[in-house]
Structure 1
Amino acid sequence: METRISVVIPTYRRPRLLVKCLEALHGQTLEEKAFEVIVVSDGPDAATADAVARWHAGRADAKFRFISTSIKKGPAAARNAGWRAAEGQLIAFTDDDCLPHPEWLETLVHHFGGQPHFAMTGYVQVPIPQRPTDFEWNTAQLQTAEFVTANCCCTKDALTAVGGFDERFGMAWREDSDLQFKFISCGIPVVHVSNAVVKHPVRQAPWGISLKEQKKGLYNALLYKKYPRLYREKIQKHPAWQYYITVSLFLALCITLFLGFRTVTEVAFLGWLLCVGGFAWKRLRDKDKSVRHVTEMVFTSLFIPFLSIYWQCYGAFKYRVLLL
């Protein structure tokens, strides 16, 4: 049977999560011979290669391929390698930590009308507790995102027309928005298919993960340089003035302390403390109030404004664009 749709999954050193994703795909209601699964390792990864080989050994009837990029370049490059090797006219993307619902592929195929240039985006379900952590809450925002690679589908012709993913996005951040903006700029329709569902469980995150996450901000500058109007419309309407004010007050505190201007130092310290406290409370409101999480939010709120501005400025310098 002809391959109607190809599923591309980028991965790197997460074999246990990947196998769960493959099991979910193996249980699709769409006839197994009608789709193929292409797993792309973002660089050499022997453990993942062994895990998927064992998985496929017991499912020889499944159309399955495992390929690897020569070096680690990020999920954008891995996805490009996957869709370019695909046989299907439709290319569905999901991530190795996702669990597609059984009707996912059948739903996508059903909504495709045969147009050469066409894209779809489904619904990403993120189960979180009533009082989530900050990390869980941030992950849950995938549920309202317009276009994410955890659950999207495009024709191969559409991907070819826009050149696929921009491989300069070296991390899992903004590369999906970049593809969406390419489609919009080229007049390629993107249709929301709400009943094409992928479940995205929240992984266990290490303490202080939000500090490491700030590095992704450098790619905001690249996306803004390419699509300034769409960036302001869909990503960030206004600069993060709170961060700039917080950092400015801290610098004023340090300078006036050095110069001996005690009154100004006290005012700057109070202002900085209010900014940090307000930021920490905003992150804690309606969320987990355990001692561990409260401590994490207070500690990371001290440093996030500095790290966020640093990485955004680094990106602005790297990509030669003014972004506040």
Structure 2
Amino acid sequence: MTGSPLISVVVPTYKRPDLLERCLAALLKQNLPRDDWEILVCDDGPSAQTQALVERVAEHAGGRPPVRYLPVSNTQGPAGARNVGWRAARAPVIAFTDDDTMPEPGWLKAGLEAMASGVEAAVGTVLMPLPDEPGDLERDAARLTEAEFVTANCFVRRDALDAVGGFDERFTLAWREDSDLHFALLERGFTIAPAPAATVVHPLRPMPFGASLGMQKKVMFDVLLYRKFPELYRQRIRPGPPWLYLTICASLMAVLLGLLAGRWEVAAAAAAAWALLTTYFFIRRLRLSACTLRNVAEVLFTSLFIPPLSIYWRVVGAARFGGGLP
């Protein structure tokens, strides 16, 4: 390429070459002229397999568009990987997506059209097809399609990224790093426009039984986001503390204290309160998802542990990042 591209696509990846290959295949079907854009694959777990895949795709593309492989070794997590990508990009507009998406052919063109008015950022549409009877995990994952700002499908001017310092690399998991960038842009008074025609498909991936328990670790990054942007967090994420979880945990604590003190009536009353609240939590989660044996069993099992795990990781987040519990 003799000139600079109009837009650079940044794709962070981590040990998912099969998904990455699918994503790159979809990207190469863009209907934007191939001299107008480039692809930067940021490998958060540098591997010869992923590098070979990217080089093979680059050779197939013949340099139109350029496809570059960027190993990421000084940070961990998609936030740091995206920083490596946009800082190496050659275009004034950066398009972000993930390695498990499939951008539709008009994605980049629609993104550029949304940015043409001079806005600093734009957010596209994420489609996540659900089965006829989605389980609780699948419905929860599909909430991504309702998010206000997601790095699976957004466009940001390089100048704006420079102004806010890019992504906060303390977000080492794929959670809230996009909200952090969103809030940073809003705090600086930058304009963010919708780009509904810029569409990516985000297929659901199979998840093991009880996967929602491991996901509770991500909650510690809510603490970091709340510490940085308390007002925006309350306005756009959660208006108040998780009272149900806190009450369930308080009931469990009362059971333990009652048993230690020999106050059996207190322990029994607290256990009844815990059982009632946990049953309510279980029914609330189940009523909107499939009534299959697996889903019912999974919702029941995880409902026992999600509240204490969620509060535990909030406390861990407060100890790591400081500030109060969101």
Alignment of 1:1-324 (within 5 A): 2-60=4-62, 61-113=64-116, 115=118, 118-324=120-326
Q: 1:269 is aligned with what amino acid? A: A
Moved more, 268-277 or 74-83: 268-277
Q: Which amino acid aligns with 2:199?
A: V
- Determine the C-alpha separation between the residues in 2 that align with 1:113 and 1:192: 12
Say whether the 8 Å CA contact 1:43–1:71 is kept in structure 2: no
Identity %: 44
Task: Check conservation: 2:106, 2:198, Cα contact below 8 A.
Answer: yes
C-alpha displacement of 1:71: 4.2
Q: Which moved more, 1:248-257 or 1:178-187?
A: 248-257
Aligned equivalents of 1:239, 1:30: Cα separation in 2? 46
- How big is the shift at 1:17? 0.4
Number of paired residues? 323
* Deviation of 1:112 (Å): 2.1
Cα distance in 1 for partners of 2:264, 2:113 equals 70
1:142-199 deviation per Cα after TM superposition (whole angstroms, max 9, x unaligned): 1111100000001111111111001111111111011011110111100011111111
- Out of 91-100 and 253-262, give the one that drifted further: 253-262
Structure 1 residue 114: Cα displacement: 6.2
Of stretches 92-101 and 263-272 in structure 1, the one that deviates more from structure 2 is 263-272
Equivalents in 1 of 2:214, 2:114: separation in Å?
39
Question: Contact 2:11–2:41 (CA<8 Å) still a contact in 1?
Answer: yes
Q: Is the 8 A contact 2:95 2:155 kept in 1?
A: yes
CA distance in 1, matches of 2:214, 2:49: 25
Contact 2:54 2:68 in 1 (8 A): no
Moved over 6 A (4+): none
Unpaired runs of at least 5, structure 1: none
**8 Å CA contact 1:3, 1:35 repeated in 2:** yes
Counterpart-to-counterpart distance in 2, 1:10 and 1:318: 25
Q: Note if contact 1:42-1:71 (Cα within 8 Å) is conserved in structure 2.
A: no
TM-score (norm 2): 0.96
Structure 1 residue 205, shift from structure 2 partner: 0.7
Distance (Å, rounded) in 2 between the aligned partners of 1:84 and 1:72? 14
- Cα distance between partner residues in 2 of 1:120 and 1:111: 7
Secondary structure at the counterpart of residue 67 of structure 1? strand
Residue by residue over 1:13-36, the C-alpha shift from the partner in whole angstroms, topping out at 9 and shown as x without a partner, is 000001111011111111112110
CA distance in 2 between counterparts of 1:106 and 1:92 reads 11
The 8 Å contact of residues 43 and 72 in structure 1, kept in 2 or not, is answered as no
Q: Is this contact kept in 2: 1:38–1:65, CA < 8 A?
A: yes
Task: Report the Cα offset of residue 72 of structure 1.
Answer: 4.9
**TM-score when normalising by structure 1:** 0.96
Mapped partners of 2:137, 2:186: distance in 1: 30
Contact 1:218 1:315 in 2 (8 A): yes
Code of the residue aligned with 2:88 in structure 1: it is A
Q: CA offset at residue 286 of structure 1?
A: 2.4
Once the two structures are superposed, what CA deviation does each residue of 1:6-58 show, in whole Å capped at 9, x if it has no partner? 00000010000011110111111111121101000013222211222233332
